[in-house]
Structure 1
Amino acid sequence: MSEQSEAIADGIDFAVVAYREEGTWQVEPLAEDTVEDLDSLAAELRRWPGDGGSLGLLSVDEDFFLIVRVLGAETRILLSDITAATDWPVARSAVEHLELPLPDDEDDQVPAGDLGIVADLGMGAMDMGALLDEYELYPDEMLGDIATKLGFGAQFEEAVGVAAP
Structure 2
Amino acid sequence: MSDVTAGPTTDLDFAIAAYAEDGVWTVTPLVLRGEPELSAVVSALLRYPGEAGVLGMISVDEDFFVVIRVVGGRARLLISDVTAATEWPLARQVVDELDIPLADDDDEQVPAGDLAIVADLGMSAMDLGALCDDVDLYPEEMLEEIADALGFGTQFQEAIEALG
Please report the TM-score for the alignment, with normalisation by the length of structure 2: 0.91
Cα shift at 1:7: 2.3
Name the counterpart of 1:147.
147
Letter in 2 for 1:91: A
Aligned residues of 2:15 and 2:59 also touching (Cα < 8 A): yes
Structure 1: gaps of 5 or more residues:
none
Deviation at residue 120 of structure 1 after TM alignment:
0.3
Counterpart of 1:57 in structure 2 is 57
Distance 1:27 1:76 in 2: 19
Query: Which runs of no fewer than 5 residues in structure 2 stay unpaired?
Result: none
1:7 matched residue in structure 2: 9
Q: Cα deviation per residue 1:79-133 (whole Å; 9 max; x = unaligned)?
A: 0000011111111100010011111122211001011000000001000011112
Say if 1:34 and 1:45 are closer, same or farther in 2 by CA, change over 3 A: farther
Number of equivalenced pairs: 157
**Letter matched to residue 23 of structure 1:** G
- Separation of aligned partners in 2, 1:42 and 1:78: 13
User: Greater CA deviation, 35-44 or 53-62?
Assistant: 35-44
Please list the CA deviations of residues 23-61 of structure 1 after superposition, one character each: whole Å capped at 9, or x if unmatched.
100000011228712111111100002111100000000
Name the structure 1 match of 2:111. Answer: 111
Q: Distance in 2 between matches of 1:35 and 1:51?
A: 30
Mapping of residues 66-145 of structure 1, within 5 Å: 66-145=66-145
Check 1:35–1:121 CA distance in 2 against 1; reply closer, same or farther (3 A cut): farther
Does structure 1 conserve the Cα–Cα contact (< 8 Å) formed by 2:9 and 2:35? Answer: no
Which position in structure 1 is the counterpart of 2:44?
44
SS of residue in 2 equivalent to 1:32: coil
**Coordinate RMSD, CA, aligned:** 1.8
Distance in 1, Cα, partners of 2:59 & 2:70: 18
How far apart, CA to CA, are the structure 2 residues paired with 1:116 and 1:73? Answer: 18
Fraction of identical pairs, as percent:
54
Contact 1:64 1:84 in 2 (8 A): yes
Please identify which structure carries the higher helix content. 1
SS of 1:161 mapped into structure 2:
helix
- In the alignment, what sits opposite 1:24? 24
Change (3 A) 1:70 1:60: same
Q: After the TM superposition, which parts of structure 1 deviate over 3 Å for at least 4 consecutive aligned residues? A: none
Aligned residue identity for 2:128: M
Larger RCO, structures 1/2 (Cα 8 Å, 6+ apart): 2
Does the CA contact (< 8 Å) of 1:68 and 1:78 recur in 2? yes
